Amino acid sequence: MMGGRKPYFPMFVDISGKKIIVAGGGRIAERRVDTLLKFADNITVIAPKVTERIRKKAEEGKLCWIKESFREDMKNRLLDADMVLAATNDIACNEQIMRICNQRGIPVNVSHKKELCDYYFPAVVVKDYVTVGITSGGQSHMQVKKIREQIENALFTKNKNS
């Protein structure tokens, strides 16, 4: 058990047709977008500035980039979202997005505070038809990273030696 409560159930769902909003364009958003693009095509990033990698993916048509900061009057952009990630560098903005999503029943991940998340964003390893998701429930990002690297080494090294 994690901190007196049960761990989150690892549920694998098809998000290929879901509308996903990522508020923020920094390193955390970039990592989330990189992972999401393996599973979904309808991703919108809302941020005035983004990393070079996100910008390139937008130019390639792999995602939609709205070049603005998320504001209260933009809440209608969340109206038909199926899933939201609040990953801005503005805590108040992230929490505002969380409140809007909670009011509308939209699952939201808030990057700065695990207690505000409806779901955790796992570390993911994909090899052929196998998908592995790893989480510590927000308790130990370093342990999750280490385990992800071990799984990647096992999956990718074994194949090279076969």
| pLDDT tens digits, 5-45 | 677 788 889 999 999 999 999 999 999 999 999 999 999 99
Most confident among 36-45, 123-132, 150-159 (mean pLDDT)? 36-45
Whether 138 has a pLDDT exceeding 80, the answer reads no
* Predicted TM-score (pTM) of this structure: 0.86
Cα(first)–Cα(last) distance of the chain, in Å?
A: 38
Residues 94-105 have pLDDT tens digits of 999 999 999 999
Answer with the residue of higher pLDDT: 127 or 139.
Answer: 127
Asked whether residue 131 carries a pLDDT value surpassing 60, the answer given is yes
Summarize the confidence of residues 121-140 as an average pLDDT.
84
